[in-house]
Amino acid sequence: MSGHDGGMSSRDSVQIPDDRDFGAFRAQCESERGWSLTYSKGGVGVWVQLLEPERALHKIKCRMECRDVPAETLYDVLHDIEYRKKWDTNVIETFDIGRLTANSDVGYYAWRCPKPLKNRDVVTLRSWLPMGSDYIIMNYSVKHPKYPPRKDMVRAVSIQTGYLIEGTGAKSCTITYLAQVDPKGSLPKWVVNKSSQFLAPKAMKKMYKACLKYPEWKQKHDPHFKPWLFPEQSRLPALALSELSLQHADSLENIDESSLAESKEDRGEGSDEDSLT
């Protein structure tokens, strides 16, 4: 695959990302061209790139400076699925399906969307790359025969989503979250605004607080179990790439939620809904 902006979506079969893919993802995280700054406050910045305004399809990028959080702690927090169930109030259900290689697996994640939208879920191939004091974790959607779309969820498509963690000192780092997700369907315009100006910054701050509390929590919860660092610890069943197929956005049902108004009890106050992406 070439390192152009098409990302993983230009592949024609399920493959594990290589160094060029990680490099292309990092370049997108660091690029400023074509991005509009929508939020900048308290060490958090959010940028949006509208792709199909009529469907509110967009890319979102968030960056946060993390003081008193070493890069390796943030990396652990993003990987630790048991801890995520504790701090991510947005999660409905999440679990690992199986491992592909020492640094890639397949997982399921379902999340709450802002009312009155339907909740979404994804099945993704995730891969990760430690680079000294920097780390990348990224994913894209795949199909797994045992986890077809559910009736109570809208199956969304992660075209490319991920995190770039950059160590800035012994106890500080910067995280960039980049997401291009097709939530399937036409969304109302308020969703993009709410995601970029309210939900995404809130989610980043929640993640930061979770990082501060992680070392103490991990000491009490299987402190030496970190299969993302020590693959030999993995308890996941092995998966073959041949069991997976690409999840093309256009093969999933589109729903039209574009005329839905934001529910009154959910408007602007400190609700726990995260970003759509």
Give the pLDDT of residue 268.
Answer: 45
E-state strands within 132-213: 134-143, 154-155, 157-169, 172-182
Give how far Cα 5 sits from Cα of 83, 140, 159, 162, Å: 33, 14, 11, 14
Domains observed in the chain: 19-250 (3.30.530.20)
Per DSSP, 156 falls in state -
- Dihedral sign computed on CA atoms, order 86, 89, 90, 92: positive
Give the pLDDT of residue 254.
Answer: 67
Give the pLDDT of residue 5.
Answer: 43
Give the pLDDT of residue 272.
Answer: 38
Give the pLDDT of residue 116.
Answer: 80
Q: Cα–Cα distance between 128 and 274 in angstroms, integer?
A: 23
Structure tokens at 228: 């993302």
pLDDT average per 10 residues of sequence, the chain (277 residues)? 45 88 96 92 91 77 97 97 92 95 95 85 96 96 94 89 97 96 71 77 94 98 96 95 85 68 54 37
Q: In 10 A of CB 184, how many CB atoms?
A: 22
Q: Cα–Cα distance between 35 and 172 in angstroms, integer?
A: 26
Pairing of strands 157-169, 134-143: antiparallel
Structure tokens at 189: 């315009």
Tell me phi and psi for residue 25, to 5 degrees: -65, -45
pLDDT one-digit tens code per residue, 28-78: 999 999 999 999 999 999 999 988 777 667 899 999 999 999 999 999 999
CB under 8 Å to 118, separation ≥6 — which residues?
Answer: 153, 154, 255, 257
Give the pLDDT of residue 108.
Answer: 96
Write down the residue that tokens 């230009």 correspond to. Answer: 10
CA 78 to chain centre: 9
Give the pLDDT of residue 277.
Answer: 37
Per DSSP, 238 falls in state B
Give the global pTM.
Answer: 0.86
Give the pLDDT of residue 273.
Answer: 36
